[in-house]
Amino acid sequence: MNQWKIYGILVFVMFIWGFNLPAVKYLVGEVQPVTMTAFRIFVASLTVFAILGVFKLVRKPTTQEWKYIVLGAMLNVVGHHYFLSIGLTQTAGSTAGLILGTGPVLTAVLVSLLLRIYPSKLQWLGFVLGLGGVSATILAGGEGAGGFSLGDIFVFLAILTQVFSFIVISKAAKTLDPRLLTAYMFLVGSVVLFLISLVQEPGEIVEFLDVPPLFWLAFFGSGMIGTAVGHMLYNYSVGQAGPSKAAIFINLNTLFTLVGSSVFLGEDITTRHIFGLVLIVAGVIFGSGAAEDMWRKRKNRSKELTEE
């Protein structure tokens, strides 16, 4: 697929994830996080299987592919969502946001070390600009980054497990459609999370009987669109563009979360937010390789005109 179409898909995914955050915050306020996450991801797995079934893309994985599926599920679904849900209950939102903002940089570093795929100097600049933009945007909220806490460790483990999962997904994508990989990972991960919830949050499942009607709208919207469609498209993009390029777009999550908070929660957007926005967009342009692509095309066009 054309590289620019992949970039468009990634921007769309960040838009979905950014506006999905208020829904998730509401959901965990009604039902405990691990139990909630287990059922939300299970709904997501059924949704992805249904979508792929329509296009006849569902097949039985090979033994080797099952290894990637289980490993990806433990990292991307169980590890990431479990650590994040626990961490957010023990640390400030601003601090968690700053830690999650290190995701693209961590991805670039690990991809360089493990896969021997080295980002260019302009891409490294993009990673740094994106991290700076996330930091400026979050700190503009006035909360600041609080002191070190155990929750910070959990949030860092959440982003670290997710980064490792990107590498697994990129390897699995060589033989298994990343969208189908997503469906199987969600199914395996939701089962494991449910078993964890039975131990950590016993009896919490009955809380689903007392939730208001609005809960189900947010639950299915988040599970089917925010989680299913969002992760299916993102994992597909990882398989097409690679872990480093796809990860840099995560910085846009902060931007769309800011916009969503302004629209739905009435929060103010300040000049510091705008400054952070500029850095984030610049970081995405450089870090994704889009700037290099544009420069290369312009250079080739100039060369062709000179030869004519």
Backbone torsion region of residue 203, taken as left when φ is above 0, otherwise alpha when ψ lies between -120 and 50, otherwise beta = left
278-296 confidence digits (pLDDT tens): 777 777 777 666 666 666 6
* Number of Cα atoms under 13 Å in the Cβ half of residue 7: 13
Burial class (CB within 10 angstroms; exposed 0-12, middle 13-18, buried 19+) of 12:
middle
Position 129 confidence tier, pLDDT thresholds 50, 70, 90: confident
Domain positions in the chain? 3-307
If one counts every other C-beta atom within 10 angstroms of the C-beta of residue 199, the result is: 8
85-123 confidence digits (pLDDT tens): 777 667 655 455 555 666 676 666 666 666 666 667 777
Position 307 confidence tier, pLDDT thresholds 50, 70, 90: low
**pLDDT number for residue 103:** 64
Contact by Cβ (8 Å): 148, 201:
no
**pLDDT number for residue 175:** 93
**pLDDT number for residue 151:** 72
Contact by Cβ (8 Å): 291, 262:
no
Query: Distance between alpha carbon 261 and the CA centroid of its chain, in Å?
Result: 18
Question: Cα torsion for 66, 16, 285, 247, to the nearest 10°?
Answer: -30
The pTM of this model reads 0.77
174-223 confidence digits (pLDDT tens): 899 999 999 999 999 999 999 999 999 999 999 999 999 999 999 999 99
Q: How far apart are CA 212 and CA 194, in angstroms?
A: 22
**pLDDT number for residue 164:** 86
Q: How far apart are CA 48 and CA 43, in angstroms?
A: 9
In this predicted model, which residue has the larger pLDDT, 84 or 95?
84
Q: How far apart are CA 124 and CA 129, in angstroms?
A: 9
Helix axes 271-287, 290-307, angle to 10 degrees: 60
